[in-house]
């Protein structure tokens, strides 16, 4: 079945860039997402990318997709302490009826002042 892998932890200093990586196994994934979870809260969609794109930029966020290697990354520029959270990579393929997202295990980002 589908599988999504992420490293569990990343620590950066405030003002640096953060890069969170994700790999997935389903080559037919058509949508790839990044969600953010703050302590004690549910997940919120940060950004997403269609599989026919290789990059998407949204203010401080840059998503890179390498479809050949099935690798997705999220870059956060000028990381702030408010960016400390767990970041989840997820994928789906609604064209096959698989609308529910498959999530990775989440990467905990710690931003040090």
How is 24-54 classified by DSSP, letter by letter?
Answer: E--TT--EEEEEEE-TTS-EEEEEEEETT-S
Q: How far is the CB of 79 from another protein (least distance, A)?
A: 22
| Closest separation in Å from C-beta 43 to another protein | 5
How far is it, in rounded angstroms, from Cα 113 to Cα 109?
13
Task: Between 55 and 100, name the residue whose CB sits nearer to another protein.
Answer: 100
Q: Which is nearer to another protein, 11 or 44 (CB)?
A: 44
Name the strands in the sheet holding 18-24, side by side, starting at the edge strand that comes first in the sequence.
Answer: 4-6, 18-24, 71-76, 61-66, 55-58
Q: Interface residues with another protein (CB under 8 A)?
A: 1, 4, 6, 8, 31, 33, 35, 40-45, 48, 88, 92, 94, 99-106
Q: In angstroms, rounded to a whole number, what is the distance separating the alpha carbons of residues 49 and 36? A: 15
Is the CB of 4 or the CB of 65 nearer to another protein? 4
CB of 106 to another protein, least distance (A): 5
């Amino acid at each position: 079945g589908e599988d999504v892998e992420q490293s569990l932890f990343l620590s950066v200093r405030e003002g640096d860039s953060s890069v969170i990586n994700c790999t997935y196994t389903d080559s037919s994934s058509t949508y790839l997402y990044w969600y953010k979870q703050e302590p004690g809260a549910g997940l919120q969609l940060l950004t997403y990318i269609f599989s026919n794109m290789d990059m998407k930029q949204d203010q401080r966020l840059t998503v890179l997709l390498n479809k050949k290697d099935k690798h997705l990354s999220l870059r956060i520029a000028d990381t702030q302490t408010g960016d400390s959270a767990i970041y989840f990579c997820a994928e789906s393929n609604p064209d096959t009826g698989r609308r529910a997202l498959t999530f990775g295990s989440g990467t905990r980002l710690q931003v040090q002042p």
